């Protein structure tokens, strides 16, 4: 985007480390618009101050995740909302406090009032239509991307010495929320251990918004007798994450519900085979490159992972198809399509004003 063509849009960028934050950060790097950087979750006074700051700049606001929709309570100008998923709005995976329930209702209320909505997958768009009754023509699907300069196949000599983990290992990336379905992955892994006694499971990412998640996880791996075989690694840099993918036997991603699912995309870009669930958005991301199974069947998950571990021809085919599939997604493309949404909203507002 040329500096002289700067659009009258304010993009809200969050400065934390989840996939939602990565979305706003990657889009921000590629768009020549005004930006305001903030944390994702704010107290009411800080939210009000953020809204006041937004109101003083730009005629259109791009709220970069669905939980910023609640801040539109303070806005009078038009706004666009990116919806990554409706997990907390429409699915009771985790119990909510009274205040959280009120805020989630505000999110839904103001998602419905947006000038336009960006959904990060067709599945998320379908959820918006199904659960919130939003007209399809008010939603644009813009897929997340992957940085192919970072997430790419690496040779063993390119990786740092501390990435020489015991091999083979299965990899999982994400939190330990209930919808991530880690319990069934652990059970499937315990089944695999009977055939592959040296197999390890590397779990990358923190536990999530509750310390209870990690406590429950540790109890489960202990009960299954796999505590010595599960390696926990909290947040790592993108380059280190790419190294982990590149040397893993496969990525297992049995989530019950995802709005998009960045880890399978990142894994494929690194030449790592993917076994994922066949639910929500994951078939869109994985395409025909991975093996998709029901997330409710322990033995089907174990069987799929075992196939990848033992069938070299299948593995090579999955690596090749995964690299091809990953090329369909890029942050440059996502940014370009986002700018097209900005321009479309600006045009519709100008027509509405009779300009």
Q: Torsions phi, psi of 263, nearest 5? A: -55, -45
What's the rounded Cα separation, in Å, for the pair 148 and 166? 27
Q: Determine the average pLDDT of the residues in 324-337.
A: 97
Residue in 78, 121, 163, 118 with CA at minimum distance from that of residue 258: 121
Domain architecture of the chain: domains with CATH? 3-144+330-352 (3.40.50.2000), 156-326 (3.40.50.2000)
Q: What is the pLDDT of residue 316?
A: 97
User: Over the stretch 211-256, which tens digit does the pLDDT of each residue have?
Assistant: 778 888 889 899 999 999 999 998 889 999 999 999 999 999 999 9
Q: Return the number of other C-beta atoms located less than 10 Å from residue 110's C-beta.
A: 20
Q: ∠ CA(136), CA(330), CA(266), 5° rounding? A: 105
pLDDT at 176: 85
Overall average pLDDT of the 41-47 stretch: 80
Could you tell me if 36 and 9 are in contact, meaning their C-beta atoms sit under 8 angstroms apart? Answer: no
pLDDT of 88: 84
Beta-bridged to residue 288, according to DSSP, are none
**CA–CA separation, 200 and 229 (whole Å):** 5
Cβ(208)–Cβ(177) under 8 Å?
A: yes
* Residues 142-147, mean pLDDT to the nearest whole number: 97
Segment among 10-14, 69-73, 107-111, 196-200 with least mean pLDDT: 69-73
State the pLDDT confidence band at 355, using cuts at 50, 70 and 90: very low
**Angle value at C-alpha 221, between 220 and 226, nearest 5 degrees:** 150
Mode of pairing for the β-strands spanning 230-233 and 200-204:
parallel
pLDDT beyond 70 at 42: yes
Q: Is the pLDDT of residue 354 over 70?
A: no
Which of 38-47, 64-73, 175-184 is least confident? 38-47
**pTM over the 0.85 mark:** yes
Whether the CB-CB separation of 276 and 171 falls below 8 Å is answered with no
Model confidence band, residue 8 (pLDDT cutoffs 50, 70, 90): confident
């Amino acid at each position: 985007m040329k500096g002289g063509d700067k659009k009258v849009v304010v993009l809200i960028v969050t400065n934390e480390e989840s996939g939602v934050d990565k979305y706003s950060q990657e889009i921000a790097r590629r768009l020549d618009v005004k930006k305001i950087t903030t944390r994702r979750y704010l107290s009411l006074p800080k939210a009000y101050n953020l809204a006041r700051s937004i109101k003083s700049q730009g005629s259109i606001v791009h709220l970069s995740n669905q939980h910023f929709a609640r801040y539109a309570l303070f806005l009078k100008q038009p706004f666009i909302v990116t919806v990554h998923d409706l997990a907390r709005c429409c699915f009771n995976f985790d119990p909510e406090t009274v205040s959280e329930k009120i805020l989630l209702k505000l999110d839904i209320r103001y998602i419905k009032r947006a000038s336009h909505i960006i959904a990060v997958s067709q599945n998320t768009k379908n959820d918006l239509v199904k659960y919130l009754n939003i007209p399809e023509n008010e939603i644009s699907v813009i897929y997340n991307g992957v940085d192919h300069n970072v997430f790419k196949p690496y040779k063993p000599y390119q990786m740092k010495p501390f990435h020489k983990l015991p091999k083979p290992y299965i990899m999982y990336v994400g939190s330990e929320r209930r919808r991530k379905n880690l319990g069934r992955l652990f059970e499937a892994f315990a089944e695999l251990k009977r055939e592959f006694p040296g197999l390890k499971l590397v779990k990358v990412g923190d536990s999530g918004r509750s310390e209870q998640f990690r406590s429950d996880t540790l109890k489960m791996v202990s009960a299954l007798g796999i505590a010595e075989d599960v390696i926990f690694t909290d947040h790592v840099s993108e380059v280190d994450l790419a190294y982990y993918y590149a040397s893993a036997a496969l990525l297992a991603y049995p989530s019950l519900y995802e709005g998009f699912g960045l880890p399978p995309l990142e894994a494929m870009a690194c030449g790592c085979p993917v076994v994922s669930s066949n639910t929500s958005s994951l078939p869109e991301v994985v395409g025909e490159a991975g093996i998709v199974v029901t997330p409710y069947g322990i033995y089907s998950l174990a069987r799929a992972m075992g196939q990848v571990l033992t069938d070299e021809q299948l593995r090579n085919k999955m690596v090749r198809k995964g690299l091809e599939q990953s090329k369909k997604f890029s942050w440059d493309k996502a940014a370009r399509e986002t700018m097209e949404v900005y321009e479309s909203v600006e045009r519709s507002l100008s027509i509405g004003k009779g300009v």
